[in-house]
Each structure stands twice: as structure tokens, then as C-alpha cells.
Structure 1
Amino acid sequence: MDPRSEVLLRQPEYFQGSLLLVGLPADELLGELPNAHGWCWHAGDQATLDARFEGRVHFGIELPERAFDTAVVFLPKSKELADYLLNAVAARLPGADVFLVGEKKGGIEGASKQLIPFGKPRKLDSARHCQLWQVTVLNAPTAPVLADLAQHYELPLAEGPLKVVSLPGVFSHGRLDRGSALLLEHLDKLPSGHVLDFGCGAGVLGAAVKRRYPHNTVTLLDVDAFATASSRLTLAANGLEAEVITGDGIDAAPMGLNSILSNPPFHVGVHTDYHATENLLQKAVKHLKTGGELRLVANSFLRYQPLIEEQFGHCTVKAQGQGFRIYSAKRR
């Protein structure tokens, strides 16, 4: 059981009515709270929860339509996403209680101040290196419009400026990260055909490739529904068309690809997690046609080259700088 869930279950008297669990972990909490429903935007967590508690978890970027008496928000890593979630919930629950739970190392103490606009927050519990906060919504906000919270910026590329639209919670929200910037400089000589942008985030790589190589088929894939929604907005802002998939890792990707591009993630919330990237490196070769290329950027300290060589038999460093390396390997 996730320690945040354990803290909730120490205070069962607060969670007897119809309860919404926002950003809940993929554990057994729904089994302990029979009147609870979840709201999730991580495709992997959704698949796990749906297998155990079918019909009890809403997937997507908007608050579920169903009515509920109270809500618990599990603190996300992003402050902007936390703001969106708390305002969306508080707007629906005037006069009711809203709870915020999170790990101390995830910043729950400071994040509790985000409850102040709604009323007077109070700490209910501190255990398992987590804290549980509660506020009665005396000042209900106007329901937030997610599109209004998007950040827009432009990248000066050779083909002209690329417009990027980034929603709260998306990796490198509102700016281009150094790894993707390096990979954007080395998109030359990609095998033509079907290109996958794995871990697409706001869709920068996929959109750039589609515009530079318009005859290619481009698929963008991410585990996070806020990321794929951002990618769709980025594509639309540039008048581009591509397939966008919300799915759990490389297993959700098409087969028969000619290229896989990636700036793969290695963090989930406040924790380091290499699983998605290691799974990509182990299985990418099966998703590529003969002659197809995996090209990815990663922090120089991450030892990805041996993992790539184990599957492809070879791997070259195409470029490096700013603490990053671009690896390239082709299926023979």
C-alpha cells in the first residue's frame, strides 16, 4: 500500500460518503474505500486500477462529471498541476471538505498553502513520511478552463518558428529542455517512413519531424494524458496532423517503425524510475523494421549505451553537449 494511502486510512471517519480520489496511486485503496471513485491520467496506473476496480476510475484531463461529497487530491510533482486540480475540485464542492495528501520530500508542507484561497487549512495527520491536510471550501473558485492555463512558446527552427503548447504537469512545462534542444539539432538523416516520438511530452520532437519530413507518418506516444493533450494542441497550432496515443510505454506503440525518437523520462513524481526507459531499450528493436533507427538523448551519467548494445549489438554516440548524449542504433 502506498504510504499516502495508509495515511488516509488512519482517518476513515472523513471518507465515508461519496469520495473522489484525484491522482490516486495504483494500489488497493479503492478496495478499502467502497464509496470512492478515482480520477487518473497515467495510462499505466489506469490499466492497473481498471483491472482491479473496473468502472471506478475516470481517465482523462478533466474532472469527472459524477457527483461526490468530498475529494482527496494526491499532491502531484507539478505546482501548476496541483493548482489546476485543487481549483477544479474546490469549484465543484462549495461548503464541503477537500483534502490534500503527499510526501514530505514531495513538498506537501509548502503545498498546503495552495489551500489557503479556499478557507483555513489544517493538518490532520503526519505519518509514514507523509502529511494529510484538510480545508472546508468557504470561498469556492470559478471552475478553471484547462486551455486557459496552457503556456505557449515558439522555437526558432530552420523551417520557421514552431509553436509549442504546454499544459500544466507536462515535462518541462512552458520551456524547451536541454536534452530535447540537443536532439532537435540532430534530426538529420532519419530513416524515412513511420516515426515514433516516444515520451512525447508537449509534442516538440514529433511536430518538428512532421514539419521537416511531411511525407513521413508520425506517431506521438506518452503515458500521461496531459502530455498527449498538449501534443494535440501543439500539432494543431502548427497545422500538422499526426497520430497521438496515450499508452503505457513502448508496448503501446505500433510495430514496423522506421525511426524511434525519444528524450525518455526517468522520474515519476518525486521518485526516480527507469522502468519505462529500460523497457524501451529492451523492446525498441522489435518495433523497428530492418534498417530502422533508435535515436535518443539522455543525461551523460545514465549508462544506457550498454543496454542499447545488448539489444542492437552496436550503439554510437551521435553528439554530446550540455551534459547530454545522443545515442543511435540501427536494427540489422
Structure 2
Amino acid sequence: MTIADTSRLLQRQPQQPWRDQATLVVNPADNDLATTDNSAWLLHAGFQTSWANGVCCARLSEHWQRLPCKQVLLYVPKEKALLAYLLRQLAMLAEEPTRIWLVGEKRSGIQRLLKQPPTILSDLQKTAVGNHCVLASASLQPSRYPLEQDWLTLTYDGIEPALTLRSLPGVFSQTGVDAATRLLLQQLPPLQGSVLDFACGTGIIGCFAQRQTAVTQVSFLDVSPLAIAAARCNASDTGNSKFYLSDGLREVAHTERFNVIVSNPPFHRGLATDYSIAEQFISESHQHLHRGGQLFIVANRFLPWPKHIEQHFGHCETLAADSRFAVYRGIRR
């Protein structure tokens, strides 16, 4: 696995207490610190196999009643709300002031954090700069807050019928239905049978599918435990929902087939552009469709998904397009 620039900055430090003492690593960008002594709070399902003491969950309190280590290293995410959420969760489990290091790319939220630190961080100071990244240290103060504060209520009123869903920080989309997903939902024909909502985020596509009477089961899949928590909250409670916390389709059984797979697939991993996520998804989705099953994708028009769909499905149909996005369909023959 490629070592992230943030981890390269950590490697360059003359003193590395996160290697010398057991450390809780939060939101790691790679497996560089996946030692037997360190624990991890993972926000990406792809890291689960590498961290023996890692948990991939929406709330740290789901697995620990107190911080499992006496010091914390936090890889700072780009989203301001997600960073605040992670810090609150850590402060909830801190029983005493705890040393915390924060590392992030300059274009992430760490510069803003240094200018406007939250009250639960005292003695916050920059300790190193390099590789276009910043390392800082602080003392994390114990704090309590109502867990209900974390949840957002979003009304998706650009579709029929309108949906009101709940979400958590860092889950796509934070401002309601995005323009690409709206275009996709407007173009979907009546669905039936089993449906997979890939990279589900809040679960808006799957929840939309569950409102159709001919749909028998909806599966929600995402790499983020926060997204899966939101999708569980939003999905119908009629018993026809399944949930996969999975990096790609690896947690879906090779023998499992769907009538429909729908997605607004990501093309970023963190702050970096990454086409491999959607490329692998398109190639693997063919084998997870019944004969006659349909793949629907919405994407920015500049992305090369049509040629990948045609490569694996033998054709690619453009159902709709505007100045920014297009909706594509492939059918397994």
C-alpha cells in the first residue's frame, strides 16, 4: 500500500512516541502504524484486515468504554463537521487530559483547526511541517455532550416523493440531494426484484427504491461505517434491507446476484482522485447481476465510465445528460 504524505511526515520526526508507546490511531490514511501495540478507529472498511486492534464503527463507544490507549494520533479529515465529530467522540471516552497529535494535509482541515481550535483542545501548537502536511499536538480534555447532537436531518425535495433522511458528519451528501443523484433518480425506470445501492451514503437511492412495490429487497453498501449507520437509520423497517460495510464488493458473496445495481460512485479517496474505485466496481458488478439485470450509474461527464461499462457489458446506453452529469445503463445479456 502507498504511504500517505501525512505518514511520511510522521516518519521524518526525530521522536516518534506514536511508535514507542501504544497509541490510538484515528482515521489512518494507510497501514504504516498498524503495529500489535497500537489500536485504531477506522473510518474505511479497506483497512480492517491490516489492523489487528482496529474497529471500523460509527461511534467509538460501540466498542470501548474508555480510550484504549493513553495517547491519540488523529489523521485530520477534510470535512470540518467530521473533524469536530471525531474530537467529540474521543473527548467522551477520555477520563483525563490526553496527549493527542493531529496530522493532516495543508488542504485538509488542519490549518483551520490551528486558527480556531475547539475548547476540548488545549495547548494546541504546530510541531512540524513537510510533505505539504502539518503535524500538531495538543491536550484533549474530557467532555460530555448529547449524542443526538451528531445527527443531521435532511429533506430531499428534488425528487418525487420527497424523502426526509438522517445523516452523520462526513456522509455524502450533507446538504440534501445532490444534482447528480437527483438526475439519476429522475431517470430510473420502475424497479423490481433485488436492488443494490453501491456507495450508498445516507441511503437515498436505496430508500427511493424501497418505495416501489415491485422491489423485494434492497442492499446498502458503503466503505464508511458512518454511512452504513445512517443508511440503517433511514432504511425501511419492513425486513427487506441488507447492509454491507465493504471496500468495493468484496463482502458480497460471489454467488449473490441482483436485479438492479445503482450508484453515484466516488472518484476520490480522501483528498486524492482515484478512478480505481469505480473501475473495479463496474468490472465486478457484471458478475453480480442476474441475466437481464441492469446497472445504472450517474457521474460527471468527463469521467471515462462509458468505455468501462461497454468493455464489461458489451454496450453502454446514455439515458440522460446535462451540462455536468450523465446517467448510464448497462444490461447483462
**TM above 0.5:** yes
Amino acid at match of 1:5: S
Aligned to 1:129: 132
Match of residue 261 from structure 1: 262
Residue 212 of structure 2 corresponds to 212
TM-score by length of 2: 0.89
Give the C-alpha shift of residue 75 in structure 1: 0.7
* Aligned-residue offset at 1:71: 0.6
Helix, strand or coil: the match of 1:180?
A: helix
Native 8 Å contact 2:39 2:68 kept in 1: no
Distance 2:202 2:30 in 1: 25
**Cα separation, 1, equivalents of 2:14 and 2:99:** 14
- Cα separation, 2, equivalents of 1:96 and 1:276: 37
Cα pair 1:316 1:329 within 8 Å, conserved: yes
Query: Closer, same or farther in 2 for the Cα pair 1:158/1:125, shift >3 Å?
Result: closer
> Cα distance 1:214–1:11, how it changes in 2: closer, same or farther (>3 A)?
farther
1:219-252 Cα shifts (integer Å, max 9, x gaps):
111111111111111115x877411111111233
Instruction: Quote the Cα distance in structure 1 between the aligned partners of 2:14 and 2:86.
Output: 22
* Aligned equivalents of 2:116, 2:172: Cα separation in 1: 21
User: Could you tell me how far apart the structure 2 residues matched to 1:216 and 1:159 are?
Assistant: 20
Larger CA deviation: 224-233 vs 251-260: 251-260
Taking the TM superposition and a 5 Å limit, the aligned residue runs for 1:181-330 are 181-190=182-191, 192-213=192-213, 215-235=215-235, 241-253=240-252, 255-330=256-331
CA distance in 2, matches of 1:70, 1:100: 11
- Deviation, structure 1 residue 74: 0.3
Unmatched runs of 5 consecutive residues or more in structure 2:
none
1:89-128 correspondence to structure 2 within 5 Å:
89-93=90-94, 94-113=96-115, 115-117=117-119, 118-128=121-131
Secondary structure of the 1:280 match is helix
Q: Relative to 1, partners in 2 of residues 1:264 and 1:143: Cα closer, same or farther, differing over 3 Å?
A: same
User: Is residue 27 from structure 1 mapped to residue 26 from structure 2 by the alignment?
Assistant: no
The letter for the 2-side match of 1:105 is R
- Which whole-Å deviations, capped at 9, do the CAs of 1:284-315 have from their partners, x for residues lacking one? 11111111110110001112111111111111
Shift of residue 257, structure 1, vs aligned partner: 1.1
Encode CA deviations 1:122-161: one digit per residue, 9 max, x unaligned. Answer: 0111122211111123x5332562x431111223477643
Structure 1 unaligned segments of length 5 or more: list them: none
211-220 vs 5-14, which moves further: 5-14
- The Cα offsets for residues 243-295 of structure 1, whole Å up to 9 and x where unpaired, read as 11111112333522111111001111111111110001112111111111101
Q: As a proportion of its length, which structure holds more helix?
A: 1
Q: Which amino acid aligns with 1:225?
A: P
Instruction: Say whether the 8 Å CA contact 1:83–1:114 is kept in structure 2.
Output: no
Tell me, yes or no, if the aligned pair for 2:5 and 2:131 is still in contact at 8 Å.
Answer: yes
114 and 243 in structure 1: CA distance in 2 versus 1, 3 angstrom threshold: farther
Query: Helix, strand or coil: the match of 2:233?
Result: helix
Counterpart-to-counterpart distance in 2, 1:231 and 1:249? 17
Letter in 1 for 2:34: L
Q: Which runs of 4+ in 1 moved over 6 A?
A: none
